[in-house]
Structure 1
Amino acid sequence: MKTSRIQIALLATAALAMTAGCAKKAPEQLPPPPAGTDGGMDTGTDTGNVGGGIVPGSRADFLQKVTSDRILFETDSYSVDGQGRATLDSQAQWLMANPSVSVTIEGHADERGTREYNLGLGERRANAAKNYLASRGVPANRMTTVSWGKERPAAEGSNESAWAQNRRAVTVVPN
């Protein structure tokens, strides 16, 4: 009796050891970016320029007039710090001056952690930014959120500098 229990325990331990190194595969295909956006990927081309001038209410106008289109977060956090509040205040001011513009707020995480954890964290970061903008008077129905988790890094690398840039929420104005 004891021999069979020991054998079962050894077999179970061996099976666990063999699967411990297995990582989950990345999805074969990412979901499409929100309509009218570049999906958080900086293409280096700002739209909204007409004849050398910037069209009010365009993405280029937004990027020119706000402090930044993104706020950064500490590790495993979705709390908006003082610098993030200042950035979101400038975004709220622009959004209030451009009431016909709706935005998508993208939540991102660094590469550490599971895909599921980072998608959840990205969602909490996007919602934190949305809720702050709403507290400043921006109607919630003009803002949508999406979480990209760790799937769309702003900076490549496995170091603190890259991770710090990837822990973010980005406000995207449609092209």
Structure 2
Amino acid sequence: MRHHLLNAGLAVALIATAACSGKKKPLPDAPPPPAAVGTVPGGDTTGQGTTGVTDAPIGTSNTPGGVADFVAQSGSDRVLFGYDSYEIDDEGRGILGKQAEWLARYPNVRVTIEGHTDERGTREYNLALGDRRANAAKNFLAAQGVAASRITTISFGKEKPEADGSDDAAYSRNRRAVTVIASGAAR
């Protein structure tokens, strides 16, 4: 009896491992260290940067440096991914490139990149995949010159779907990385 329980437990562990194993690709390379401190937009030579905004708060209005301005200038605050992938496609690279340009104009703005998945897969697998998506977007922004210290990541896996439903249209909208302007970001 004990032998059968051991075999059953081993079989369950092997099945769980096989279900989570799939094609794993390494994350994109981490960005190189930042260049030496020099003049940055706004004429700041301290390396701290300025936003070029006088007293406009970081907010949801379309004020320069605000959330709506970020979305308008970047084209989107999110990039979408293929099924079981964290590779950034051409459209995603275009959006992230525009986000990097906007972030270069506002060097004291901090962002959080949220990684999301569709509902398929285990919670653990989806949290790991969401993390890889968020980090792929972070690494892309950092490679474009955005200081990695300004970017945090978080994975929500399948816990915060954008679209309800169990069809391809909902799945494709839920496989995303969203760049969120940190509330109360320093100007």
TM-score by length of 1: 0.71
Runs of 4+ in 1 over 4 A off after TM superposition: none
- Residue 102 of structure 2: which of 61, 77, 94 is its match? 94
**CA distance in structure 2 between the aligned counterparts of 1:48 and 1:119, rounded to whole angstroms:** 28
Match of 1:138 in 2: 146
Match of 1:156 in 2: 164
Bigger CA radius of gyration: 1
**CA distance in structure 2 between the aligned counterparts of 1:127 and 1:9, rounded to whole angstroms:** 43
**CA distance in structure 1 between the aligned counterparts of 2:149 and 2:131, rounded to whole angstroms:** 17
Q: Which consecutive residues of structure 2, in runs of 5 or more, have no partner in the other structure?
A: 12-57
Q: Which consecutive residues of structure 1, in runs of 5 or more, have no partner in the other structure?
A: 17-45
Match of 1:32 in 2: none
- Describe the SS at the equivalent of 1:137: coil
Match of 2:81 in 1: 73
Which runs of structure 2 are paired with 1:96-115 in the superposition (5 Å)? 96-115=104-123
- Describe the SS at the equivalent of 1:123: helix
Counterpart contact for 1:58–1:174, Cα < 8 Å? no
Report the Cα offset of residue 64 of structure 1: 1.7
- Percent identity for Structure 1 against Structure 2: 56
Q: How many residues align?
A: 134
Report the Cα offset of residue 47 of structure 1: 3.8
Report the Cα offset of residue 103 of structure 1: 0.2
TM-score by length of 2: 0.66
Q: Deviations over 1:124-172 (max 9, x none)?
A: 0000000000000000000000000000001000011000000000000
Give the CA RMSD over aligned residues.
2.2
Read off the aligned partner of 2:113 and give its amino acid letter.
I
